[in-house]
């Protein structure tokens, strides 16, 4: 079998400093090349922990995390991370400078950098806003800059940690459609974390539901067959929604016990 | 309701509580308030001065006359220049040591703990208390004054630098790492730009204290500078000269502070920490 | 586990203090004991001072600080509240207060002596001068930084001007006033040392100055360490008060 885009096997992560039970335990998940996976679960279930391990910001206590068959040794440009809030943008850089951070780090020639900036600003729909500073952009625009910043490195894997959670409903819907469009062009593998069932169903090839933490792991997974772009009122989506919602409600009750 | 009628009055904007809703424009042209407060100050001063001898409490007029004289014959520029030069040189020395130390303290917990017994203790000792050692170690020449200012600047700037490093947004470091950056990249692209405003803020705080230190040092042992000017005028009871020197100190301090703010705003207009105020 | 904690937390402290004291002692024995008093000299100085009037010297300095600081704070808080509340007062007094803040208090010493004689009053005045502007400005900032919606919430429940003032504005301004007082206390320490060195007849600053002119560096060392300890103690008091009176809300808008 060819190696997957990413593979967690038997991963546990304990934050020993707190002496608590491990956040995730025996966590297994395989993400295929070009696959869009949404990780869903009640808050505190270790979704972000899993993403952090794949990003390489932290190491598992036990088990292995592989990216394209190789153990994750640390953060690298081949796995782009879109952070939850906007505080990871550099407020002292303009939108363009922010999205060119990756090329700048890789010492891409300036002429090429300009071409990259133009292409990506157009891709995320921010032509004409490149000279603005993050503080002058709306929440949706800032998240687009984050996405563009990651795409500038042409990663084969996108890691997104509730990137749209802070946006208003209209903007969020729009951003979801945009993300699907951008993803279908470049086709990276995606691990997308959310607690919004609808969001997961609009975006994902596969929705993975986690158990309530601590000692969390994958509870179940659903394949979403509906073709993209998806209609939010598609009956297949509605049916899947009911089913996932039922599992989520169960986990939510368990989390409260 | 009376409040409603009130809301239409332009005076509401200067007399109503600052937190009341819908503040209108100031009914007076902008120059009126500064002029009014200057007149108020001058009136109170004249009133107080009128009751005393000029050798105790000089009037604004006497001070203005003295200021003109000192500006014309160059005395004030000479002494202000000497004090300013001492401050600038001492600050440069102190800052040059403080920034690397502060960075190292912020980046290495071990080094921070090694330094903490000193930084946490010595920063509570007024720099001027060190004047006694400074005079013994370096004599009454320029070196002792430079040492005091540098010593003073060191603590303000090192502490601010360390705080700046501690407050660097973790997700920005992570972002650069996940974009393929090395540790060196995170230092250049994230830590340094994040810390510079804090360094400037530390210099700003340190500058205020340095003024107090230089004045004391110049009173205790110097033959030039604004502190010396103040103390030597005492012998002839020239209180008008004293007040001119005091005002010059205030203006110099104000100018230095505004310069720091202007530089910080210029460099970091989008990321100033809130300590810089509105 | 315990060993790791030791290496991480305690060792660096011990190491650096030991290095520092060792270097000092080396300087004392190799360079010049007049420049760097030996540790045993410092110890003897401490005991000879302590068996003398060291306690009284400390108390005199502290009493001067408390008097000047207390009077100035009592004046500064109401002025700051007024400046924060009434825009007209802010516009009249804001400029002068902002300017006076930049005058080093010790620069006023010649005027203070001319006005009050070389007395306790002059020194108390200088301490007050060090305190009043800092506390005024911080108190005013506290009023101006009151969370807007908390005021609106009180008004929505029917509070009038004075109720808003007592229930919302004052509690929000107090931590800011305390933060200002904490900063002012540092300035007051600096001023007392200078003032007592220049014009004092008693007190810690005087002790330092006298030790310098008689070249008793052991006494200087003792005086400086005492100043540091007193500074830390008063700072802890204000830190406690700030925590106690809701300092954690002070920064929030």
Same domain, A169 and A251: yes
Residue of B nearest to C226 (CA): B125
Residue B235 makes CB contacts below 8 A (sequence gap 6+) with: none
For chain B, the average pLDDT equals 86
The residue of chain C nearest to residue B231, with distances taken between CA atoms, is C110
Q: Looking at chain C, which subunits does it touch, using at least 3 CB pairs closer than 8 Å as the criterion?
A: B
* C/B Cβ contact: 3+ pairs below 8 Å: yes
A1 within some domain: no
Decide if B220 and C217 are in contact by the 8 Å CB cutoff: no
Which of the four pLDDT bands, split at 50, 70 and 90, describes residue B132?
Answer: confident
List the CATH number of the domain containing A46.
3.40.50.300
A218 touches chain B (CB under 8 A): no
pLDDT for residue B24: 55
- Chain B nearest-CA distance from A149, in A, is 8
Q: Ranked by mean pLDDT, which of B77-81, B107-111, C145-149 comes out on top? A: B77-81
pLDDT of the residue at B90: 94
Domain count, chain B: 1
Same domain, A142 and A232: no
Q: By CA distance, what is B40's nearest residue in C?
A: C92
Asked if the C-beta of C4 comes within 8 angstroms of chain B's C-beta atoms, the answer is: no
**A105, A141 in Cβ contact below 8 A?**
no
Does the pLDDT at position A148 exceed 90? yes
> A10 and A46: one domain?
yes
B116 chain-C contacts, CB cut-off 8 A: 13
User: pLDDT at residue A17 above 70?
Assistant: no
Listed residues A154, A170, A205: the one ending a domain: A154
Q: From the CB of residue B251, how many other CB atoms can be counted at a distance below 10 Å?
A: 14
Predicted confidence at residue B208, as pLDDT, reads: 87
What's the whole-number mean pLDDT along residues C70-85?
96
Residue C222 lies in a domain: yes
- Could you tell me if A80 lies within 8 Å of chain B, comparing CB atoms? yes
Residues from chain B that touch C108, judged by Cβ atoms under 8 A, are 246
Q: What is the CA radius of gyration of chain A?
A: 18
Cα–Cα distance measured from residue A126 to residue A182, given in angstroms and rounded to the nearest whole number? 14
Taking the CA of residue A24 and the nearest CA in chain B, the distance in Å comes to 21
Does some domain include residue C65?
Answer: yes
Give the mean pLDDT of B166-191: 91
Is B85 part of a structural domain of the chain? Answer: yes
Does C9 fall in a domain? no
Domain count, chain A: 2
- Measured between CA atoms, the residue of chain A closest to residue B181 is A105
> For the residues of A206-255, what is the DSSP string, one character each?
EEEEEPPSSSB-EEEEEE--PPSSPPTT-HHHHHHHHHHHHHHHHHHHHH
Residue-wise pLDDT tens digits, A55-78? 988 889 899 999 999 999 888 889
B190: closest chain A residue by CA: A90
Is the same domain home to A250 and A137?
A: no
Question: Is the backbone of residue A20 left (phi > 0), alpha (psi -120 to 50) or beta?
Answer: beta
Which has more confidence, C35 or B214?
B214
- Residue in the structure block whose two tokens are 């004054």: B145
Determine contact: A135 vs chain B, CB below 8 A.
yes
- Residue C111, classed as helix, strand or coil, is helix
Smallest Cα–Cα separation from A26: which of A53, A56, A64?
Answer: A64
For residue A76, give the nearest of B180, B189, B271 by CB distance: B180
Instruction: Decide if C27 is inside a domain.
Output: no
Mean pLDDT, to the nearest integer, of C93-120? 91
- Taking CB atoms and an 8 Å limit, are A81 and B175 in contact across chains? yes
Q: Do B179 and A105 touch (CB under 8 A)?
A: yes
Per-residue model confidence (pLDDT) at position B104: 92
What's the rounded mean pLDDT across residues B218-230? 90
Whether C1 shows a pLDDT value over 60: the answer reads no
Nearest Cβ partner for B178 among A79, A104, A106 = A79
pLDDT band of residue A53 (cuts 50, 70, 90) is: very high
Using CB atoms, pick whichever of C102, C187, C211 lies closest to residue B257: C102
Give the strand pairing for A206-210 and A218-223: antiparallel
Cβ within 8 Å, pair C104-B249: yes
Structure tokens at B112: 């921070």
What pLDDT is recorded for position B7?
Answer: 47
CA closest to A102 among chain B residues:
B179
CA–CA separation, B151 vs B86, rounded Å? 13
Whether residues B179 and A150 touch (CB distance < 8 A) is answered with yes
Q: With pLDDT > 70 as the criterion, what percentage of chain C qualifies?
A: 95
For β-strands A157-161 and A189-194, DSSP reports them as parallel
Cα separation of A118 and A6, whole Å?
A: 31
pLDDT at A3: 80
pLDDT at B28: 75
Number of neighbouring beta carbons within 10 Å of residue C216: 19
Residue C104: pLDDT above 90?
Answer: yes
Is A57's CB within 8 Å of B178's CB? yes
Name the residue in chain A with its Cα closest to that of B173: A88
User: Are residue A172 and residue A74 in the same domain, yes or no?
Assistant: yes
Q: What is the pLDDT of residues A156-205, one digit of tens each?
A: 999 999 999 888 888 899 899 989 998 998 899 999 999 899 999 999 99
Whether B199 is in a domain gets the answer: yes
What residue of B is the nearest CA neighbor of A57?
A: B174
For residues A146 and A184, membership in a common domain is answered with no
Chain B environment of C99 (Cβ under 8 Å): 250, 254
B37 phi and psi angles, rounded to 5 deg: -75, -30
Of A26-35, B157-166, C155-164, the least confident: C155-164
At B39-53, the pLDDT tens digits run: 999 999 999 888 888
Q: What is the ipTM of this complex?
A: 0.85
Subunit contact A90:B180, Cβ cutoff 8 A: no
Query: Best interface-test mutation with B: which of A55, A78, A91, A152 has the largest number of B CBs within 10 A?
Result: A91
Distance CA B203, CA B183 (A): 27
B94 pLDDT exceeds 90? Answer: yes
Mutation for B interface: A74, A79, A92, A136, most B CBs within 10 A:
A92
Is residue B32 included in any domain, yes or no? no
Q: What per-residue confidence (pLDDT) applies to B274?
A: 56
**Residue A83 falls inside a structural domain:** no
DSSP secondary-structure letter at B24? -
Q: Which domain holds residue C245?
A: 54-249
CATH code, domain carrying C194: 1.10.3720.10
Distance from CA of B105 to the nearest CA of C (A): 12
> Which chain A residue is nearest to residue B266, measuring alpha carbons?
A92
Q: Do B246 and C107 touch (CB under 8 A)?
A: yes
Model pLDDT, residue B25: 61
Residues of B with CB below 8 A from A76's CB? 178, 180
User: Which of B51, B212, B237 is the best mutation test for C, with the most CBs of C within 10 A?
Assistant: B212
Which chain C positions have a beta carbon within 8 Å of B247's beta carbon? Answer: 103
Q: What is residue B117's predicted lDDT score, i.e. its pLDDT?
A: 81
Residue A19, pLDDT score: 61
Contacts A79 to B, Cβ<8 Å: 178
Q: Would you list which residues of chain B are within 8 Å, Cβ to Cβ, of chain A?
A: 169, 171-172, 174-182, 185, 189-190, 193, 268, 270-271
pLDDT of B11 above 70:
no
Q: Do chains C and A touch (3 or more CB pairs under 8 A)?
A: no
- Chain B contact for A81 (CB, 8 A cutoff): yes
| pLDDT tens per residue across span C159-211 | 888 888 988 899 889 999 999 999 999 999 999 999 998 888 888 999 998 88
Residue B187 in domain: yes
Determine the pLDDT at residue C251: 45
Chains with ≥3 Cβ pairs under 8 A against B? A, C
The pLDDT assigned to B272 comes to 60
Query: Which one of B109, B170, B175, B269 makes the best mutation probe of the A interface by having the most chain A beta carbons within 10 Å?
Result: B175
Indicate whether C209 belongs to any domain.
yes
- Once rounded to an integer, what is the mean pLDDT over residues B17-33? 71
Q: What is the pLDDT of residue A186?
A: 84
Residue C196 located in a structural domain:
yes
CA-wise closest residue to C150 among C80, C253, C242 = C253
Domain span at residue B76 reads 69-276
Q: How many domains does chain C divide into? A: 1
Are the Cβ atoms of B18 and C86 closer than 8 angstroms?
yes
Q: Above 60 in pLDDT, residue B162?
A: yes
- Global pTM reads 0.81
Please state, in angstroms and rounded to a whole number, the distance separating the CA atoms of residues C33 and C35: 5
Q: Which among B126, B136, B246 has the least Cβ separation from residue C227?
A: B126
**Tell me, what's the pLDDT at A132?**
92
Give the distance, in angstroms, between the CA of residue C67 and the centroid of all CA atoms in the same chain.
13
Same domain, yes or no: A239 and A182:
yes
Domain annotation covers residue A16 = yes
Q: Which domain holds residue A114?
A: 89-154
């Amino acid at each position: 079998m060819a190696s997957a885009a990413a593979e967690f096997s038997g991963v546990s992560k304990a934050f020993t400093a707190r002496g608590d039970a491990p956040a995730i335990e025996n966590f297994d998940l395989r993400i295929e090349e070009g696959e869009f996976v949404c990780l869903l679960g009640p808050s505190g279930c270790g979704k972000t922990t899993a993403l952090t391990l794949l990003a390489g910001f932290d190491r598992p206590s036990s088990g292995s995390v592989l990216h394209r068959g190789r153990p994750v040794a640390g953060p690298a440009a081949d796995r782009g991370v879109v952070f939850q809030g906007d505080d990871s943008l550099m407020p002292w850089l303009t939108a363009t400078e922010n999205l060119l951070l990756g090329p700048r780090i890789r010492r891409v020639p300036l002429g090429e950098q300009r071409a990259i900036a133009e292409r990506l600003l157009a891709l995320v729909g921010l032509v004409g806003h490149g000279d603005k500073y993050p503080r002058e952009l709306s929440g949706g625009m800032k998240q687009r800059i984050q996405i563009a910043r990651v795409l500038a490195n042409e990663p084969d894997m996108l890691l997104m940690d509730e990137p749209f959670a802070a946006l208003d409903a209209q903007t969020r819907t729009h951003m979801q459609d945009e993300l699907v469009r951008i993803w279908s062009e470049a086709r990276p593998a995606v691990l997308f974390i959310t607690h919004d069932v609808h969001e997961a169903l609009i975006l994902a090839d596969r929705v993975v539901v986690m158990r309530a933490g601590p000692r969390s792991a994958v509870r179940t997974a659903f394949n979403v067959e509906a073709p993209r772009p998806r209609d939010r009122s598609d009956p297949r989506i509605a049916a899947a929604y009911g089913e996932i919602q039922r599992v989520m409600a169960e986990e939510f009750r368990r989390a409260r016990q | 309701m009376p409040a409603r009628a009130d809301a239409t009055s332009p005076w509401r904007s200067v007399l109503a509580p600052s937190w009341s809703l819908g503040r209108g424009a100031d009914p007076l042209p902008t120059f009126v308030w500064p002029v009014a407060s200057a007149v108020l100050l001058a009136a109170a001063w004249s009133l107080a001065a009128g009751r005393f001898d000029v050798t105790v409490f000089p009037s604004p007029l006497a001070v203005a006359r003295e200021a003109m004289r000192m500006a014309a014959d160059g005395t004030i520029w000479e002494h202000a220049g000497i004090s300013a030069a001492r401050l600038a040189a001492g600050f440069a020395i102190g800052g040059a040591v403080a920034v690397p130390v502060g960075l190292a303290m912020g980046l290495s917990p071990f080094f921070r703990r090694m330094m903490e017994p000193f930084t946490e203790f010595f920063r509570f000792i007024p720099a001027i208390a060190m004047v006694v050692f400074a005079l013994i170690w370096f004599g009454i020449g320029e070196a002792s004054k430079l040492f005091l200012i540098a010593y003073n600047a060191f603590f303000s700037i090192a502490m601010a630098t360390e705080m700046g490093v501690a407050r660097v947004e973790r997700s920005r470091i992570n972002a650069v790492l996940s974009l393929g950056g090395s540790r060196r990249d995170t230092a250049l692209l994230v830590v340094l730009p994040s810390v510079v405003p804090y360094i400037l803020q530390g210099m700003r705080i340190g500058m205020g204290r340095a003024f107090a230190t230089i004045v004391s040092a110049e009173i205790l042992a110097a033959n030039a500078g604004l502190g010396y000017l103040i103390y030597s005028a005492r012998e002839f009871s020239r209180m008008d000269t004293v007040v001119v020197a005091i005002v010059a100190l205030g203006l110099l301090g104000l100018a230095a502070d505004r310069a720091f703010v202007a530089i910080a705003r210029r460099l970091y207009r989008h990321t100033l920490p809130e300590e810089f105020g509105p | 586990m315990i060993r790791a904690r030791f290496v991480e937390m305690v060792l660096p402290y011990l190491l650096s203090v030991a290095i520092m004291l060792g270097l000092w002692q080396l300087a004392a024995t190799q360079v010049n004991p007049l420049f760097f008093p030996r540790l045993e000299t410092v110890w003897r100085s401490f005991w000879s001072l302590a068996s003398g009037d060291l306690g009284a010297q400390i108390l005199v300095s502290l009493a001067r600080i408390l008097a000047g600081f207390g009077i100035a704070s009592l004046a500064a808080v109401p002025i700051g509240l007024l400046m924060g509340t009434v825009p007209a007062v802010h516009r009249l007094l804001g400029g002068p207060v902002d300017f006076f803040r930049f005058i080093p208090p010790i620069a006023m010493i010649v005027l203070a002596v001319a006005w009050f004689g070389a007395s306790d009053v002059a020194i108390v005045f200088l301490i007050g001068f060090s305190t009043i502007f800092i506390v005024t400005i911080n108190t005013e900032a506290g009023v101006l930084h009151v969370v807007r919606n908390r005021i609106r919430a009180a008004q929505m429940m029917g509070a009038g001007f004075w109720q808003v003032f007592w229930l919302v504005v004052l509690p929000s301004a107090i931590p800011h006033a305390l933060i200002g007082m904490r900063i002012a206390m540092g300035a007051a320490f600096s001023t007392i040392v200078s003032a007592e060195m220049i014009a004092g007849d008693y007190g810690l600053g005087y002790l330092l100055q006298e030790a310098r002119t008689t070249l008793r560096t052991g006494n200087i060392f003792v005086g400086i360490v005492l100043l540091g300890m007193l500074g830390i103690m008063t700072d802890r008091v204000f830190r406690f008060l700030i925590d106690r009176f809701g300092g954690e809300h002070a920064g929030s808008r």
